[in-house]
Amino acid sequence: MSAFDYNREAVRNLGIDDTKILDPLVDFESARRAHINKDRSHRDKRLSLGEAIGEFVRDGDVLTDTGFSYVRTPMQAYFEIMRQGKKGIQMIGSPNSNQSYMIHFGVCSCSHNSYSGAEMRGYDRAYSRSVIEGKTRILSEWSHGSMAQGFKAAQLGVPGVFSKQLLGSDILRYNPYTKVMQNPMRSDPDPAVFVPALYPDIAVIHVQTADRFGNARMYGPPINDIALAAAARRLIITAEEIVPPGDIRSNNKGVVIPFTCVDAVVELPYGAAPGSMPGCYYWSRQWWEKLMRWACLSDENIEEFFEYWVFSSRDQFDFIEKLGGARWIANSRKITKAEEYDNEDLGVDFSYKEFKTLETETGIYY
């Protein structure tokens, strides 16, 4: 493992005694070896979700969140990681929405922090409680943009980028990876922040379609996922459907992830549920409200919530049945199509029954 010279003030402020715990995220040499040794043969990479998670997600990995909070996020893959009882994972991503519940169940022990919440659904008290109680260890603080720049640097194969982001922010005092340096192109004082290339061990990216080799077509906001596909040492693609290679060749618009980056392909309809999948289905606002407004209030609540939704569900189909089955599928597809102006929106009812308390809960998640 290479020796790195970290931001010493941040190391002190975060109370990190052994900085080796920080190394995997920025270790270019090991990432390069992983990429060079990756099997790039044109082969069928299809596995079940359980097989893919079991083989490619390892205890102690740096796992990056993909999609954006609940938009095109591989929720069902994260649930399978929990079912398999993976441990000691460092998690990085913006926002932290999916770190929170993994921390509670011992999957994620270290957090590269950005922010946590589900926007208008509520504030994530469980994440705050986990940090206060020492259930997770903060290894670095990031803004959305600076984290994206680190992933982009890894995709480009450069050591890092100079940025004006984070200047004037206290984030610099709690990020061991970033340093304020002089802009080498200027002779007068001109500070810039050096953001190093970031190399997660494992990423799971959910897409609309992929072929059996791993060529993946994505619709909707890519966020950091194109960069992460190249940056991650190992990559699992989960897809709403698997299409023939000829379909990818003849209709290559949106094919942004090449098979050479991919280690496993999983056909996983509704793999983003209860989040949204652009063009396919809408997110369950009630599910996220219940998570934020009730489950996150206490350890007992969060255990009861995930026992019902995750640990007693064998797969995404069990999960969908609990959301409302065919009614949820039909309603969420209709709303998504109407909101994207792919279907007639005149007369479509976008209202829903908000979750507030258990006493007023309807049990309807669509």
Is the pLDDT at 187 greater than 80? The verdict is yes
Q: Which of 78-82, 153-157, 164-168, 316-320 has the lowest mean pLDDT?
A: 164-168
Select the more confidently predicted residue: 119 or 153. 153
Question: What percent of the chain is predicted at pLDDT more than 70?
Answer: 99
pLDDT at 122: 77
pLDDT band at residue 108, thresholds of 50, 70 and 90?
very high
164 near 193, Cβ under 8 Å?
A: yes
Q: How much of the chain, in percent, has pLDDT values that exceed 90? A: 90
Query: For position 116, what pLDDT does the model report?
Result: 80
Assign residue 254 a region (left: φ > 0; alpha: ψ between -120 and 50; beta: otherwise). Answer: left
Taken in order 320, 323, 329, 334, the sign of the CA dihedral is negative
Residues sharing a CB contact under 8 Å with residue 365, sequence separation 6 or more, in sequence order: 274, 284, 286, 287, 322, 323, 324, 328
Of the given ranges (76-80, 220-224, 308-312), which has the lowest mean pLDDT?
220-224
- 8-33 residue pLDDT tens: 999 999 999 999 999 999 999 999 99
**Which pLDDT score, from 0 to 100, does residue 1 have?**
43
pLDDT of the residue at 121:
82
Q: For residues 258 and 61, what is the distance between their CA atoms, to the nearest angstrom?
A: 23
- Look at 44 and 347; give whichever has higher pLDDT: 44
Give mean pLDDT, residues 90-100: 90
* Tally of residues, the chain: 366
Residue 120 pLDDT: 74
Q: Which two tokens stand for residue 321?
A: 């049945």
All residues at 6 or more sequence positions from 260 whose CB lies less than 8 Å from its CB, including other chains:
38, 40, 214
The token pair that represents 12 in the structure block? 């002190």
Q: What is the pTM of this model?
A: 0.96
User: By the 8 A CB rule, do 107 and 80 touch?
Assistant: no
What's the average model confidence in pLDDT over 43-60? 98
The pLDDT of residue 271: 98
Query: Over the stretch 236-260, which tens digit does the pLDDT of each residue have?
Result: 999 999 999 999 999 999 999 999 9
The whole-chain average pLDDT of the chain stands at 95
User: Mean pLDDT over residues 334-351, rounded?
Assistant: 92
Residues contacting residue 151 through CB under 8 Å, at least 6 positions apart? 64, 198, 224, 227, 228, 231
pLDDT of residue 13: 98
d(CA 106, CA 93): 18
Which pLDDT belongs to residue 61? Answer: 98
Residue 72 has pLDDT above 60, yes or no: yes
**Bigger pLDDT: 116 vs 103:** 103
